[in-house]
Chains A and B, each alone.
Chain A
């Protein structure tokens, strides 16, 4: 049960070498792309990519935090994200956009509340009964099947109740602003980036400074020891679900402001990418999810520049599998031996 520290000096230096190599390779690739598309186009691509990436990261964080405390891939998270987007659509539809800022804030707040409630409910109803079931033949498969079931249930519920049609948000923020060195960028993009970064800073503070954050990390690290300290596991788990779902809700509203439509399978479309980002960065690692999200966002935009015309998800998965082959725990995941 003891986590083995990442202590082999040889292993560490090899890992460093690998990281340096990967960085150099990435840099070369980047220079190559930059030269072939020119600085103007590149700046635009980068801003778009970072915006996309920041939103993906917000969703990825939910996967990673829940994995941290429960060691469970919460497939239902993408559906919480989707429901957050629907809540946003309905709220905006109800209050209108007479005052864009007020509407924006209201939408985010209500979406956060709705998603958190959904996240907590999912945990209570579907995951909690499975906990503490000791072991058995299917102790690993059972929670995954449940999570998958919840995901399919929610997605089809949305299909049934909200219909499969695409809905789009009213344009909340219009116009563009000039960013030196990059050129004109849509105002909504800038707002998305700023909000996402602020939320991530806030999250970092919560995780590092508050007792809840410490308890959450302790629980991720060693559940039994955390309980011995007096940490109430079920409370921390519920709060983690609420926090992760809130981030997904913010991500959902931002996505919609960025002209994405809302539809029942959007969770699969965007949630899958977020999940990949979480695994890429190292599932269970919070900075990893942020890094993974940003990388995927930029990667997606760069792919769009190339002659490849298919879905972005194929190269995204190829990159994921390639990274996992070299670094099984992801880019920033701890390579400590996992609990058996």
Chain B
């Protein structure tokens, strides 16, 4: 997979500065404090996992980043720019793509149309064809299903489509929400392999995952959330050996 060439002129990120930096972010909805001041740093090129139990705030974190949930307080900086008040529609133009939980593909559009919509902000025909070829190389199954409606795909294929669609926007930062949820283990493994390929091509990846073993196995660093707060953070391989983590999340 080719390294992306962003179309929008962006400020050059200074050496050593994090690609994404959130500090003391609080989010609440319906009177419930979902995030109680979390801070994270993601460097360019990293693969970072966010793990934790149900309701710990994992999905909320990603939704907050994609501006689908309003931030009560705290700062969110992407490429050094404050993106706290950027609307969702513009986030993707800044280079951040979210693959939402539950895939959220367009069920009555064909696979090709789904992918094309991923490139909604990059409509140049030549670039689009190139990116689509890359995506098909990544997920050959999508190539076989181009003219099918998205809703007719299996769950695993839909997940591939959702990731492929996000990649069509040539993001610098890919946010993945529960990519293995409800998917047969064999396909889940395939999807995680594809995520590693994407990471190798230079895209920074933040992945939220319930399957802690898989998440720690394919990430470099990880954050453990507990009831809206960062409970632990560190190198994934080290965390995987942590007895507490093993007890709480790895079933042993």
Direct contact of A and B (CB under 8 A): yes
A residues whose Cβ falls under 8 Å from a Cβ of B: 1-3, 5-7, 211, 214-215, 217-218, 221-222, 224-233, 334, 336
Query: Across the interface, do A224 and B68 meet the contact criterion of CB distance under 8 Å?
Result: yes
* In the assembled complex, B88 has its CB within 8 A of some CB on chain A: yes
Complex Cα spacing A218 to B117, Å: 8
Query: Across the interface, do B105 and A225 meet the contact criterion of CB distance under 8 Å?
Result: yes
Min C-beta distance of A290 to chain B, whole Å: 17
* In the assembled complex, B116 has its CB within 8 A of some CB on chain A: yes
Query: Across the interface, do B89 and A232 meet the contact criterion of CB distance under 8 Å?
Result: yes
Chain B positions within 8 Å of A232 at CB level: 89
Query: Across the interface, do A214 and B113 meet the contact criterion of CB distance under 8 Å?
Result: yes
CB contact under 8 A between A217 and B106, given known A229-B120, A229-B165 = yes
Complex Cα spacing A215 to B113, Å: 10
* In the assembled complex, B103 has its CB within 8 A of some CB on chain A: yes
Query: Across the interface, do A222 and B104 meet the contact criterion of CB distance under 8 Å?
Result: yes
Chain B positions within 8 Å of A217 at CB level: 106, 108-109, 113
Interface size classification for chain B: 20 to 34
Chain A positions within 8 Å of B169 at CB level: 229-230
What would 4 more interface pairs be, CB under 8 Å, given A215-B120, A227-B89? A217-B108, A225-B104, A230-B121, A232-B89
Query: Across the interface, do B107 and A221 meet the contact criterion of CB distance under 8 Å?
Result: yes
Complex Cα spacing A231 to B87, Å: 11
Complex Cα spacing A224 to B87, Å: 12
> What is the 8 Å Cβ interface bit string for chain B, positions 140-166, against chain A (1 contact, 0 not)?
000000000001100000000000011
Query: Across the interface, do B88 and A222 meet the contact criterion of CB distance under 8 Å?
Result: no
Query: Across the interface, do A211 and B109 meet the contact criterion of CB distance under 8 Å?
Result: no
* In the assembled complex, B102 has its CB within 8 A of some CB on chain A: yes
Query: Across the interface, do A214 and B100 meet the contact criterion of CB distance under 8 Å?
Result: no
Min C-beta distance of B162 to chain A, whole Å: 8
* In the assembled complex, B66 has its CB within 8 A of some CB on chain A: yes
Chain A positions within 8 Å of B93 at CB level: 230
Complex Cα spacing A224 to B113, Å: 17
Min C-beta distance of B7 to chain A, whole Å: 12
CB contact under 8 A between A228 and B66, given known A2-B102, A3-B151 = yes
Which of A6, A218, A224, A229 interacts with B92 by CB under 8 Å?
A: A229
Query: Across the interface, do A2 and B92 meet the contact criterion of CB distance under 8 Å?
Result: no
Min C-beta distance of B28 to chain A, whole Å: 13
Which of B120, B123, B151 interacts with A6 by CB under 8 Å?
A: B151
Query: Across the interface, do A228 and B97 meet the contact criterion of CB distance under 8 Å?
Result: yes
Min C-beta distance of B244 to chain A, whole Å: 34
Which of B89, B109, B120 interacts with A221 by CB under 8 Å?
A: B109
Complex Cα spacing A218 to B89, Å: 13
Query: Across the interface, do A230 and B123 meet the contact criterion of CB distance under 8 Å?
Result: no
Min C-beta distance of B105 to chain A, whole Å: 7
Complex Cα spacing A137 to B97, Å: 34
Sample (11) of A-B pairs whose CB atoms are under 8 Å apart: A1-B102, A2-B104, A215-B120, A217-B108, A217-B109, A221-B107, A227-B68, A228-B91, A230-B120, A230-B121, A232-B89
Query: Across the interface, do A215 and B117 meet the contact criterion of CB distance under 8 Å?
Result: yes
Query: Across the interface, do A214 and B103 meet the contact criterion of CB distance under 8 Å?
Result: no
**For chain B residues 47-80, which have a beta carbon within 8 Å of chain A?**
66, 68
Complex Cα spacing A226 to B88, Å: 10
Chain B positions within 8 Å of A5 at CB level: 107, 151-152
Query: Across the interface, do B68 and A233 meet the contact criterion of CB distance under 8 Å?
Result: no
Complex Cα spacing A5 to B148, Å: 12
Min C-beta distance of A115 to chain B, whole Å: 28
Min C-beta distance of B247 to chain A, whole Å: 33
Min C-beta distance of B75 to chain A, whole Å: 22
CB contact under 8 A between A214 and B151, given known A228-B92, A230-B90 = no
CB contact under 8 A between A225 and B106, given known A218-B117, A232-B89 = yes
Among B109, B165, B169, the one with the most A-chain Cβ atoms within 10 Å of its Cβ is: B109
Among B88, B102, B166, the one with the most A-chain Cβ atoms within 10 Å of its Cβ is: B88
CB contact under 8 A between A221 and B68, given known A3-B151, A229-B117 = no
Chain A positions within 8 Å of B121 at CB level: 229-230
Complex Cα spacing A218 to B105, Å: 9
Chain A positions within 8 Å of B113 at CB level: 214, 217
Taking CB as reference atom, which chain B residue is nearest A235?
B89
Complex Cα spacing A233 to B118, Å: 15
Query: Across the interface, do A221 and B106 meet the contact criterion of CB distance under 8 Å?
Result: yes
Chain A positions within 8 Å of B152 at CB level: 5, 7
